[in-house]
Chains A and B, each alone.
Chain A
Amino acid sequence: MVRGSFFKRNKDKKDKKQEKTNNEQENFSIEIGKDLEKNLDNIRKMLDKPNDLIIREFTIRHSDHKGALVFIDGLVDKDVINNRILLRLQRVNERRDLPSSDSKLFDIIYREIISVSDIQRSKTLDDVSNAILYGGTAFYLDGIDDVLIMDTKGWESRSIEEPMTEPVIRGPREGFVENLRTNMVLIRRHIQDPNLRFKTHQIGRRSKRNLVVTYIDGITHPDLLKEINRRLKTIDMDDAPESGYIEQWIEDSFLSPFPQFLNTERPDRVAFSLLEGKVAILLDGTPFVLIAPISIGNALQSPEDYYERWTIGTLLRSLRYLAAFIAIFAPALYIALVSFHQGMIPSKLAFSIAATRDGVPFPAFVEAFLMGVTMELLREAGARLPKTIGQTIGIVGGLVIGDAAVQAGVVSPIMVIVVALTAIASFSLPAYSVAISFRLIRFGFMFAAAIFGLYGIIIAYIMVNIHIVNLKSIGVPYSAPFAPSFFSDWKDLVLRAPIQVLTKRPTYLKTTDPESANKGGQKT
């Protein structure tokens, strides 16, 4: 509720701001007039005569009708403009005579002459500027206060490749690209269901960016959709260059360390989530698609779990739960055991840890913290460096951490093992955003362990749990299906039951069609 009013306040501010900007830019008219020159002047002024703005003025052949094509170089497919528009307009009366009246001519041009599939009539300058900035072409005809807007998009874009961030061993090799249309196609190709819906929103005050909400009608709960659409409408910022902006604007709790959306580059993952009854949000210009609502269990799932046989899938899942445990708790447990509860370490190990730590100048917490930070630095450096020299980091880091630090007596060898294990465990988590948040929590646990030992760890664990049970993703409890418990969902949580058994969609999503498969299979 508080959050709601927070938005409201913003909105009031925004309205005032909008008025102000409108006042400043009053030197060109918003409406499209009948005078071609004036119209062209308007658009030039609005965009401040950029040199990639191309205005091609011409006369329609054998007539004195003047026209102009407006588009931005580089965003358009020039072949389309040359062959489908310009050529046809210039050669128009090779076939027959043209009516002399402006409006009739305009009608004929719209209906018969221009052979572009996506064409619209429009009356405002805003539409024109939005269209041409998104690869459209505008056609003005002198004496008409209408304008034709044609879709002539044709810019360079990346081809479909295997996703960089989520490689799988078995599974489709295609990943989303920056182009919204291509991404929609990728999803359509996965789900050939007439009920697959794409709802478009325009995001951004200055940059108008297309955002598409995808779901399957008849599975997704209508309230969920309503809520997502409502939240998307509250978005009010200059631009959303990446889906991360959207995620952060509409998430339930901005203080939470846990991601409340899943982002993925994999169309198969999106398709799977849609069939579960979730909603995907695609944003133009980014290959990362958001999936919501999610729960804590989704964070440790990978599409590959379903591609492998169920025994393997279950093994991989449980391995991942173990990895999550190590990634969060290992350094904290090390601190608690080494500086508080030495009795818990088996005697011989305790003596040898004591021997190796002899001469280490720092308490275990400082030691663990130093190594943890170094590890994060290494990871960050490795991610930023060009690929060709990225390997250097591995060598340098391996040398510095593995050997030199121990030789110099700054850290103990056991600590190196713990840090390495933690790093490996956190790399093995399938979702990067989850791995990051686990890294964050890990430091919290380390602090708690340094203060209270094991008691601190359990207190911190309880606090994280309190947070999780109160957290929601688009209003859906984040802790489902653990609590509130839906036992029927448990067979696809740590376990991955055989495909034939997984006949239900997740209960916590309250799908309108709960069955996803027939247990007995089809009758033959």
Chain B
Amino acid sequence: MKWFEYGDEKISEREIMIAIPSMVIGVGILSLPRGVAAATTGSDGWITVLVSGIVIIFLTWMTAKLASSFPNKSFLSYSTLIVTKPIAVILTFLFAVTSLMITAYEVREISDIAKQYLFDRTPVAVIALSFLLVVVYAVSGSRAGIFRLNMMFLPIILFITLSVFVFNLGWFKLSNLMPFFQTSFTGYAKGISTGITSYMGFGIILFYVSLVEKPEKTPKYAVMGMCIPVVAYILLFVTCIGVFGHSVASNLLFPTIELAKEVDIPGGFFERFESVFFVIWIMAIFNTTVMAFDVAVLALSSIFKNRAKMTLMLFLTPLVYAVAMYPEDLTEVDTFGKIIGYITAFVTISITVLLTVIAKLRRVRQVD
């Protein structure tokens, strides 16, 4: 007996548009202003955030174009068409590993920040475990459910971003933004590389486009989706510099959270806005983690065809937890994050470019 599936079809392009910002906005932005401000002078950082954003938007378009030229085919099957099967398996596996590492990193980072801003004595291991279990619960549900979660949470996340901006207008000093355009070339280069790693996550398109029913318009929607984090990042970065000044912004561990700390809610209904901000931000990080984990599961289950999703997850979850708990202190977590950022950037960008170029050269097309 088939259970009735009314109204639960494949995902739409609009859901891809929502999924991209949900994936990209995560822990990265919490510390991004520090990294960018440290590399640049005054408020010049916004240029690097914008330039790296444009680069990423282009890459997103390229990725989406590649994936959507093979409608309803999984990454493994279309990369098999382009390069050979063994290489396709290796690429898929590579993606799965990076996604798992992102999952582990996000879990660890959120626990560390939660411990810093919300808890005092609760062990990091417990916070991480509780978070990971909820992630597992979400991934074990339907894939359409994950996209719906994005849709439920993203407006709240954008709203809280906007309110941090609005409530900080009172502290905003235009003079803090000056001087303009005084950064050296190497400063810009360094800022852009920091910016690019913070935008990572668009690689999910390679996998999720196969779920889209009619993917012709996906590149357009993916680009629109990517614009959301770029705008949000620039807004937050400029607010950070305008409120704190350059020197403080480049010295705070999590400038974006500290930004929320500055907020005084008019009317004094409650204080310490940063707790609320961070708690809401958990949803953003949750979305990122869930999708990273889901992509890993999706990639692995395309390789190991006869394994059930639950078996895979039962095996992967302890692995992710172990990796997340491996770094011992904050500096190690930070290094871990940087390494993952670079690896992900390298893997995603090189695979996309490689596949696009080879597909063009060999003139591989969708065969119906």
Residues of A within 8 A of B (CB): 1, 3-5, 7-8, 221, 223-224, 226-227, 230, 337, 340-341, 343-347, 452-455, 457-459, 462-463, 465-466, 468-470, 472, 474-477, 479-480, 482-485, 508, 510
Contact = CB atoms under 8 A, between A and B. Distances in A.
For this complex, into which size category does the number of interface residues on chain B fall?
A: 35 or more
B267 to A, nearest CB: 10
A69 B118 CA distance: 80
A469 B6 contact: no
Contacts of A226: 4
Instruction: Determine chain A's interface SS by DSSP, over half rule.
Output: helix
Instruction: Determine chain B's interface SS by DSSP, over half rule.
Output: helix
13 contacts: A1-B1, A1-B2, A3-B3, A4-B3, A341-B272, A455-B118, A455-B279, A463-B137, A469-B141, A474-B6, A483-B152, A484-B144, A484-B151
B119 interface: yes
B184 interface: no
Given A345-B270, A454-B118, A470-B145, A465 B152 contact: yes
Given A346-B270, A482-B152, A483-B149, A454 B286 contact: no
A466 B283 contact: no
Contact of A477 (B2, B7, B275): B7
A164 B159 CA distance: 41
B15 interface: yes
Given A466-B145, A476-B6, A454 B279 contact: yes
A476 B119 CA distance: 40
A515 B148 CA distance: 26
A346 B137 CA distance: 36
B142 interface: yes
The 8 tightest CB contacts between A and B, nearest first, are: A483-B151, A4-B1, A475-B6, A483-B148, A469-B148, A227-B4, A470-B141, A469-B145
B24 to A, nearest CB: 19
A485 B149 CA distance: 11
B14 interface: yes
B8 interface: yes
A465 B147 CA distance: 12
A458 B3 CA distance: 33
B138 A230 contact: no
Interface in B242-286: 268-272, 275-276, 279-280, 282-283, 286
Nearest to A343: B272
Contact of B2 (A4, A345, A470): A4
Interface stretch (B84-92, B127-135, B208-216): B127-135
A189 to B, nearest CB: 30
B1 A5 contact: yes
A314 B115 CA distance: 41
B209 to A, nearest CB: 17
Given A341-B118, A459-B134, A466-B145, A7 B4 contact: no
